[in-house]
Structure 1
Amino acid sequence: MLFRRSLRTSAAVLALLLPFAAACGGDAEAESSSDVSSVTLRAGATGWKVEEAVLKFARLDDTPYKVKWSVFQGGDQQLQAVRAGALDVASSSEIPPIFAAADGRPNFKVVAVQRGSTLNQEVVVPKGSAVTDIAGLKGKKIGYVQNTTAHYFLYELLKQAGLKWSDVDAKPLLPNDGLAALNGGSIDAFASYGTSIITAHQQGARTVGSGADILSGNFLWSARDSVLKSPAQKSAVADLVARITKAYAYVRDGHEAEFAKVIAENTHQPLAQARKDLVAQQKQRPTVARTVGDDAVASQQKVADVFTELGALKDHLDVKSFWTTDLNADLRKAL
C-alpha cells in the first residue's frame, strides 16, 4: 500500500543521508573561528528551493559563506536529516522539531522564528467527490503528511467537526504519494500543504477544510548543536535567515509580478495563479524573521500538548529543552 511505501521512503532517505553526513560532518564541526569565508552551511528546503530562489531574485545570494541547499518533501524529513548529521540547518513548521526531539536526545536547537503564511494548508477531496465538509469524512480514508502541519490541522479540524481521530481511517503519506493516492482513488481525502495542494487543485481537487486559522504561522529554523559551538557558523546562519527576510521585503516592494514568474516556473502553475497566491500569502502574514521569545516557545508547547492528547507522543514533552536564544544577538545585528 502507498502509505507503507511512504514510511519505507523515509527510512531510505535516512540511509542515503548517513554516508553523506559521515563525509561532511567533520568539516562543519571543525570550524571554530569567526571568519565565515570558510563556512559551508548545509540547509534544507521543502518542496522546492524557494529560499535559494528568493535570495537570487533579490540579488542577496552573494553570501560570504557557501550554502548547499537540499530539497525535501517535508520539514519532518529535514529534521531527520539534521538528526542524521546530513544538514546543519533546517526550516520547518512547529511540528517536526517536536517529533525529532521526542526521544529526549535531540542534537539541535530551534534558533529563530520565521513568520509566514498559513495558506495552502488544506484538506482536499478529488474531483467528483460527494464530500462537502470535514464532517462528511467520517469513516473515510484520509491521507496526511505525518508529523507536519497537516497532521496537526487535520486533527484539529476533525475535533471542530465533532469527530475523533478514530472516526476516520488516517493514512500517513508523503506529499507525492498522497497526490497519487488521491487521484487513484485509494484515499477519499488528503491533508497536505504547499506545492502538493497547488497541484491537487490543478487536478480538480476541492477544499473541504483549511488550516489557515488553526496554524500559528510560526516557522522554525533549527540548527545542529555543533553549529552553535562555532562563532562563524552561528554568524552565517543568522545572516542567512536575515537575508531571506530582506529578500521577501524586496519582493513586497513592488516586485511580486516578477517573482511570481519564478514561482510559476518551479511549481508548474499558471502565472496568474502564482501571483495571486504570492500576494495573498504576503498580505496574510509577511515573511519576516524574529528572534526566539517566550511567546514562540509557548505556541509550540501548545502544539506538542495536542499531539500528546492525540497519542502521537507517548509522554509530555517540554519544548523549552530544545530552544535557545544563542542566535538572538547575531540575528538582531544581521536584521
Structure 2
Amino acid sequence: MLFRHTLRTSAAALALLLPFAAGCGGPAQAESPSDLSSVTLSVGATGWKTEEAVLKYAHLDDTPYKVRWSQFQGGEQQLQAVRAGALDLASSSEIPPVFAAADGAPNFKVVAVQRGATLNQEVVTRKGSKVTGIAELKGKRVGYVQNTTAHYFLYALLKQAGLKWSDIDAKPLLPNDGLAALNGGSIDALASYGTSIITAHQQGARTIGSGKDILSGNFLWSARDNVLQSPARRAAAADLIARITKAYAYVRDGREEGFAKITAAATHQPLAQARKDLVDAQRQRPTRARPVGDDTIASQQRVADTFTELGALKEHLDVKSFWTNALDADLKKAL
C-alpha cells in the first residue's frame, strides 16, 4: 500500500547521504575568512533544484567556493539530512525546522529568510471526483505531506470549513506517492505543493482549497552549527543566499521567457503555463532574501503553536531558541 511510504521512510534514504557528511566542510581553523576556495557547502533543494538552475541562468553559479546540491521532495527531508550531518544548508518553509528542533537538541540554526510565493500549495481531487469543497472531505481519505506547509494549510482549511483533523482519514505521504495514490484512487484528495500540484492539474485534478492566503511566504534557510562556527563558511553561505536573490532579480528584469523554458523542460509542463506560473509567483511575492527579524520569528512561533494545538507537537516549543543573527552582517554585505 502507498500509505506505508510515509515521510518516516525518508530516514532510510538519508543513510545513503551519510558517507558524504565528512565532505560538508573541514575544521574551521583551516579556513581563512577571505579565502573561500577551500569551502564546500552541501546544500539542499526541493523539487527540481530551482535554485541551482536560476543561478546558472543568471550566470551567478561561478562561486569562489564549491556547492554540492542534493535534491529532496520536501524541506522536511532536508532538515532530516541536516540533523544526520549530510547537509550544511537547508531551504524550507517555516514548518520543517519546527519538527527538526522538537527534540530540544537541534544541530542547526535558522539564519535567513527568503520571501517567496505561496502559489501551487493546494488541496486537489482527481479528475471526475464528486468532491468539490473542503467541507465534503469529512470521512474521506486525504493524503498530505507531513510536517510541511501542506500539513499546515490542510489543518487551517479544515478549521475554516468547520471540520476537525479527526474528521478526515489523514494519510501522510511524500508528494510523488501522494500523486500516485490520488490517481490510483487510494485517497480522495491530496494536500501538496510545487511540482506535484502542477502535475496533478496536468492530469485533470481540481483545486478545492488553497494555502495561498494562509501561508506567510517566509521560507527559511537553516545552517548546520559547523557552518556558523567558521567565518569562511558563514561568508560562503551568505554569498550563496544573496546570489539567489540577485538571480531572481535578473529573471524579473525582462528575462522570464528564458527561465520559463528551463522550468518547462524540468517540470514537463507547457511553456505558456510555466511562464504564467513564474510571472504570477514573482508578481505575488518577489523572491528575495532578508536577515532574521523579530517579525519572522513571531511568524514561525504562530506556526509552531498551531501544530501544538493540532497535537502534532507534544508541548510548547520556543522557536527563538533555534534562530540566530550570526549571518546578518555577512548577508547584508552580500546583498
Q: Is the 8 A contact 1:95 1:147 kept in 2?
A: yes
Aligned equivalents of 1:198, 1:318: Cα separation in 2: 35
Instruction: Check conservation: 1:31, 1:230, Cα contact below 8 A.
Output: no
Separation in 2, partners of 1:7, 1:221: 21
Q: Which residue number corresponds to residue 266 of structure 1?
A: 266
Question: More deviation in 128-137 or 5-14?
Answer: 5-14
Task: Give the letter for the 1:289 counterpart.
Answer: A
TM-score (structure 2 length as normaliser): 0.98
Structure 1 distance, partners of 2:11, 2:288, is 33
Shift in CA distance, 40/203, structure 1 to aligned 2, threshold 3 Å:
same
Deviations 1:236-265 (A, max 9, x none): 000000000000001000001111001001
Partner of 2:218: 218
Determine if contact 2:42/2:70 at 8 Å carries over to the other structure.
Answer: yes
* Unmatched runs of 5 consecutive residues or more in structure 1: none
Structure 1: how far apart are the matches of 2:27 and 2:287?
A: 28
Which residue of structure 1 aligns with residue 228 of structure 2?
Answer: 228
User: RMSD across aligned C-alpha pairs, in angstroms?
Assistant: 1.1
Q: 1:18, CA displacement in angstroms? A: 2.4
The structural deviation recorded for 1:16 is 1.5
- Mapping of residues 4-15 of structure 1, within 5 Å: 4-7=4-7, 9-15=9-15
Query: How far does the alpha carbon of each residue in 1:182-214 deviate from its partner, in whole angstroms, 9 at most, with x for none?
Result: 000000000000000000000110000000000
Distance 1:269 1:31 in 2: 46
Counterpart in the other structure of 2:165: 165
Question: Corresponding residue for 2:254?
Answer: 254
TM-aligned CA distance change 1:270 to 1:141, over 3 Å: same
Residue 298 of structure 1: CA displacement?
0.1
TM alignment of 1:6-45, pairs within 5 A:
6-7=6-7, 9-21=9-21, 23-25=22-24, 27=26, 31-34=30-33, 35-45=35-45
How far 1:13 moved relative to its partner?
Answer: 1.4
Amino acid at match of 1:194: G
Runs of 4+ that moved beyond 6 A: none
1:299 maps to which residue? 299
Task: State the 1:28 CA deviation.
Answer: 6.1
**Helix, strand or coil for the counterpart of 1:170?**
strand
Instruction: State the match for 1:51 in structure 2.
Output: 51
1:113–1:221 CA contact under 8 A, matched in 2: yes
Identity %: 81
Report the secondary structure of 1:87's partner residue. coil
Aligned to 2:222, the other structure's residue is in SS state strand
Distance change >3 Å, CA 132–CA 116, structure 1 → 2: same
Aligned to 1:107: 107
Q: Which residue of 2 aligns with 1:243?
A: 243
Partner Cα distance (1:231, 1:212) in 2: 38
Residue 196 (str. 1) matches residue 196 (str. 2): yes
Q: Structure 2 counterpart of 1:331, which letter?
A: L
Measure the CA separation in 1 of the matches of 2:232 and 2:308: 37
The alignment covers a number of residue pairs equal to 334
On the 8 A contact 2:124/2:191 being kept in 1, the answer is yes
The residue aligned with 1:68 is 68
Change beyond 3 A, Cα 1:26–1:236: closer
SS in 2 for 1:44: strand
Change (3 A) 1:28 1:97: farther
Q: Secondary structure at the match of 1:38?
A: coil
What amino acid does structure 2 have at the position aligned with 1:95? I
Kindly indicate whether the alpha-carbon contact (under 8 Å) linking 1:261 and 1:271 is maintained by their aligned counterparts in 2.
Answer: yes
